[in-house]
Amino acid sequence: MPANPDTQATRRLVHEGCESSDWRAYAARLDDLAARLGLRRALLGQPGGEPLCLFTPLADPGRRPRLLVASGLHGDEPAGPWGLLRFLERADRRALDACSLSLLPVVNVTGFRNGTRLNAWGEDPNRGYLHADGASGPSREGAAILAHAADVLALASDGFLACHEDPALACAYVYSLERRQSPGPFSIALREVLARRFPIHPDGLVDGCPVRDGIVFNHHDSSLEAWFMRNGSARAACTETPGQCAIDERIEANAGLIEAFVRCP
Ligand code: NI
């Protein structure tokens, strides 16, 4: 979550054959995958002329769990968006058909292009959704999401996952929110995916929040994940892969986190 001047956003991606901030390459591959998987693209807004896209399944969700994954809220955390692509490339049809999965693949496109945490106007696209921690209001991206609040809340009624990174750290952790007193299978499943690849953050504080066994539990701030929880999502999480580790490992971890999110009962 904290800003890091030594950004890794321009790292060359081995499997993808481009820079991690290559927005054109990213968008082209995403559109191709979305078409192949039968996802519908909607435009929530165009901050700075860049598209903030929401992808939803063509099929009626019926009684299937409604899940939403967001990534690229901070532009210097590239493994989330690229991990989402890797998840889509590998996703087996049965797993996808078992739920109704919607996607906000790159919320902060100007930050992604520039390799910066904040958007082009210095706003934080993961703050200001609720009037907590002194936040003045939403970013341009946040305002676009809030303008479609009823739609996105319906898409995330059974769960919301935001794929973040902590550029300053070499260990991983997760913020999770559940309607219970202690972390349940949802939180633990995400932590376990991280633990397979990275050291887990030691118990203590991270960004001023108490972390135990790699989990910051039921922390309510003005973030997008807290907004979903406040407005009725059954559960929500913000995962943090360590920006100081190799980017390919981080991309793999993010693909695995989305797989675990989709499979978790
Ligand atoms: Ni972040």
pTM: 0.94
Instruction: Tell me the CA–centroid distance for residue 164 and ligand 1, in Å.
Output: 4
pLDDT at 50 over 90: yes
Q: Give distance in angstroms: CA of 94 to centre of ligand 1.
A: 31
Nearest Cα to 95, choosing from 250, 233, 261, 235? Answer: 261
DSSP 179-225: SSSS--HHHHHHHHHHHTTSPBPPSEEETTEEEBTTEEES---SSHH
Exposure on the CB side of residue 256, measured as CA atoms within 13 A: 18
Higher pLDDT, 59 or 158: 158
Q: Which residue has the higher pLDDT, 188 or 14?
A: 188
Q: Is the pLDDT of residue 6 over 50?
A: no
Q: Which two tokens stand for residue 214?
A: 């790699």
62 CA from centroid of ligand 1 (Å): 33
Contact 167, 2 (CB under 8 A): yes
Q: How far is the centre of ligand 1, averaged over its atoms, from the C-alpha of 151 (Å)?
A: 24
Rounded Cα distance, 47 and 253, in Å: 29
Report pLDDT for 132: 62
Backbone angles phi, psi at 128, to 5 degrees: 90, 10
The pLDDT of 48-64, averaged and rounded, is: 93
User: 59 C-alpha vs ligand 1 centroid, how far in Å?
Assistant: 31
Tens-digit pLDDT profile for residues 84-124: 999 999 988 888 889 999 999 999 999 999 999 999 999 99
**pLDDT tens digits, 65-80:** 999 999 999 999 999 9
